[in-house]
Structure 1
Amino acid sequence: MSEQLKSEFTKRIIELQSRVSSIHEDFADGRAADWSEQAGERENDEVLNALESEAKIEIQQLSNAITRIDNGSYGVCMDCGEEIAAKRLEVQPSATKCIQCAD
């Protein structure tokens, strides 16, 4: 089970890294000469920055989850030490706290 999770997390990390690379390529394309087009591109840049930030956060969370799998602490609440419910981990695989401690 833990090897399967690590494999799933690793696949997702690779997808996210690809997304970040695509965002960097989009930024590298430069700006249009027209001022009105530049305004639209700036709005697009804000969206891309947000997507990149979210992807980087998820990459870090999944990397941390892999570390917890490796050291045997995956699925254990970091606050109370109780097991994190399987349903919670299905919804949020990188969860570090049980539902009671997360509130």
Structure 2
Amino acid sequence: MKLPVVAIVGRPNVGKSTFFNRMIRRRQAIVHDEPGVTRDRHYATSDWSGRHFMMIDTGGYIPESSDLIDAAIREQVEIAVEEADAVILMTDAITGITDIDNEMA
């Protein structure tokens, strides 16, 4: 039986990898204050209230950046969204909703 897939997406440094690590109960994704640490998709199984699923951690999405690394991260995020049955859009509660968050939603 194929597990449902949940992708975590959002702009850089909003806590996607920290949330991913908490959900999978181990430190698989590297967490750092510098943006751009997560560049590829990270997969791991998780569960919530007895329901098992696959989680995908993604890098920070920066729309319309001409930087090659940002473009590669964008591509990885878009692949994760296509693979996902559900998407969590992670935002920063202190900063609030930004134009990038609205564009991703």
Shorter-chain TM-score tier = under 0.3
Task: Point out the structure with the larger strand share.
Answer: 2
Q: Greater RCO between the two (CA within 8 Å, min separation 6)?
A: 2
Output the TM-score relative to the length of structure 1.
Answer: 0.28
Task: Point out the structure with the larger helix share.
Answer: 1
Query: Which has the larger Rg?
Result: 1
